[in-house]
Amino acid sequence: MRITVQGEERECPGGTTAGEVLAAQASLAARVNGAVRDLSQVLAEGDAVEPVTFAEPAGREVYWHTSSHILAQAVKRLFPEARLGVGPAIEEGFYYDFDLPRPLEPQDLERISAEMGRIVGEALPLERREVTRGEAEERMAAGGESYKIELVRGLPEGEPISLYHQGEFVDLCAGPHLSDTGRVGAWKLLSVAGAYWRGDQRNAQLQRIYGVSFPTAQELAAHLERLEEARRRDHRRLGRELDLFSIQDEAGAGLVLWHPRGAQVREIIEDFWRREHRRRGYQLVFSPHIGREQLWRTSGHLSWYRENMYAGLEVEGQHYLVKPMNCPYHILMYRSATRSYRELPLRWGELGTVYRYERSGVLHGLLRVRGFTQDDAHIFCREDQLEDEIVGVLDLARYMLASFGFTDYEIVLAVRDPGNKEKYVGSDAGWDAAEKALVRALERAGLPFVRAEGEAKFYAPALDITLKDALGRGWQGPTIQVDFNLPERFDLSYVGPDGREHRPFMIHRTVLGSMERFLGSLIEHYAGAFPLWLAPLQVRVLPVAERHAAYARQVREALGAAGLRAEVDERDEKLGWRIRHAQLEKIPYMLVVGDREAAEGRVAVRHREQGDQGSWSLEELVGRLREEVAASGPRP
């Protein structure tokens, strides 16, 4: 039979496997006709085969998925009574959930890791076998795997069911996997956490073991160093240490309390946001936090977003719901008057706080919350204005991100699945116009993008921008959606030059996302050491002794008059302790004032990273700090 291997045609005997034709490659699995398969996959006439390596996401997923099976086998050997949950690969490693007779302790992870080493040393082949639903249930029942039986019974009728065998261990799994356990080079079990079965807090709580693995010990060590750096930058820890924010049970899970310093950073960002939007022709609006149920019925939220909306309240016989989004209010504002084509485009922005129900298991500091403020805006425009408006949003987003130090990002164009158009609302003409406008805008901006078919929301194509932080990690950033569904639902129109009514296009967009998530990304990007323009406290004045406090206050007042944020630390502590404390708080500048400074009208300057900067006059200090603010921040 003839097959194609990495674009080259080859003649092979019948029964040849993917692993046999890729034997010379460092392949973990095979991509056969675009789908990732085991190396044991038997090839057929005309198949196109490519290697899948650890360098690509698909290869790492296979590697980590197999590692999770090795972990599960090790746990079953040490705890035969353990019942298995699920064990997938995740973004940076793997985990497996277990129902165990007792809580795991740190020494248990050491024992499990050692047993994994023995399993790797045995180089057990992973063999895939397709079975019937009855056979799968019988095999899982024989091992007492009640959770697996539940999974089997939940599989759709007609879907292939497969079991993977490695030595005495058998697991229900779709695969693919490595050819044998010996291909895993180095691993580390990282932690244990509680996890509700199937993510539902009404179910049993299992113990989830997290781990990661790499082909070499050197790669593993480098990864662990990155994890340690990520822990050092964790916004939850820094938010507490720098007194920026808190999330407290008494207030409610996922609801953020902004402390004065965190509120100061947020105010700086919001003031910049408002100033830049006004400069670019946006008008700012405000909308209420609740709305009548009928509004959300008309918008479609009650039919496709209800599970993420909070229950409402009764007011004078009318049911009101807490808003999960701002767009219906902006639409009502548009509809409140007859609009002419001459008025368009209308650009309306709002820092609007919304509330969405998220399961407690997915809440994560500022990154996943239940109440958050979107830097939201909606643009109502004609079709001939659509491309220019998208270009304008892209330019604004790039400028805003660059102002905060984010210059590396990835763009995904999410479009509908052309083979399954019934999943989407709207006409082909509307979808085509919206998609073409997005593509042309990206091309004009010179921005590379990846096209993702089937990833669009049911009502519109979109651009999703993932920004990269100092560690190269991705964060959800700007989104741009072209919507022709909501204008239709709310019967929006404008009077054209022909005197007739026409339907406007509507662009939904954010350039930062939510203030909460963006602040979380900023904290981690800078490890809490904000640039001078963003620092909640820019200068701390440190009098050497009590007699120097009056001069220290004069210095603070001079800095405040120059628009700089400063305070005096008059605590009855040694100077060295107060300097150290200011450095731990990541305050950019410390000014030490004693007898000499007070007599000469000068300050001894220390920088949080560069140390002693010498003696400066107040005029020199103010000038230099203003220059640094201007250089590190956005244009005025």
Establish how many alpha carbons lie within 13 A of residue 557's alpha carbon, considering only the half-sphere containing its beta carbon.
Answer: 6
Provide the residue type at 139 as one letter.
R
> What does the pLDDT read at residue 433?
85
The predicted-structure confidence for 302-322, as pLDDT tens digits, reads as follows 877 888 888 888 888 899 999
> What does the pLDDT read at residue 636?
61
Fold (topology level) of 539-632: Rossmann fold (3.40.50)
The predicted-structure confidence for 459-491, as pLDDT tens digits, reads as follows 788 999 998 888 888 888 899 999 888 999 999
Is the pLDDT score of 554 beyond 70?
yes
Nearest Cα residue to 574 out of 596, 542, 597: 542
Contact (CB, 8 A) for 617 and 591 = no
Could you name the CATH architecture of 246-287+326-525? Answer: 2-Layer Sandwich (3.30)
Confidence of residue 145 (pLDDT cuts 50, 70, 90): very high
Is the pLDDT score of 349 beyond 90?
yes
Query: What gap in Å lies between CA 584 and CA 600, rounded to an integer?
Result: 30
Q: What percent of the chain has pLDDT over 90?
A: 79
> What does the pLDDT read at residue 168?
96
> What does the pLDDT read at residue 204?
93
How do beta strands 346-355 and 371-381 pair? antiparallel
Is the pLDDT score of 209 beyond 90?
yes
Q: Give per-residue burial for 250-260: e unless 16+ CB within 10 Å, then b.
A: eeeebebebbe
Nearest Cα residue to 140 out of 170, 107, 112: 170
Higher pLDDT, 461 or 564: 564
* Count of other CB atoms within 10 angstroms of residue 629: 17
Fold (topology level) of 2-49: Ubiquitin-like (UB roll) (3.10.20)
- CATH superfamily, domain 57-232, is Threonyl-trna Synthetase; Chain A, domain 2 (3.30.980.10)
The predicted-structure confidence for 493-547, as pLDDT tens digits, reads as follows 999 999 999 999 999 999 998 999 999 999 999 999 999 999 999 999 999 999 9
Q: Where are the beta strands (DSSP E) in 26-88?
A: 29-32, 35-37, 48-52, 83-84
pLDDT, averaged across the chain: 93
Estimate to the nearest angstrom the gap between the alpha carbon of 196 and the chain centroid: 22
Query: What gap in Å lies between CA 26 and CA 7, rounded to an integer?
Result: 17
Q: Which strands make up the sheet holding 539-543, listed edge to edge?
A: 566-568, 539-543, 589-593, 602-607, 611-617
What pTM does this model have?
0.82
Is the pLDDT score of 623 beyond 90?
yes
Is the pLDDT score of 220 beyond 90?
yes
With residues binned 3-state (H G I as helix, E B as strand, rest as coil), the percentages for the chain, rounded to 5, are 40, 30, 35
What is the residue extent of each domain of the chain? Answer: 2-49, 57-232, 246-287+326-525, 539-632
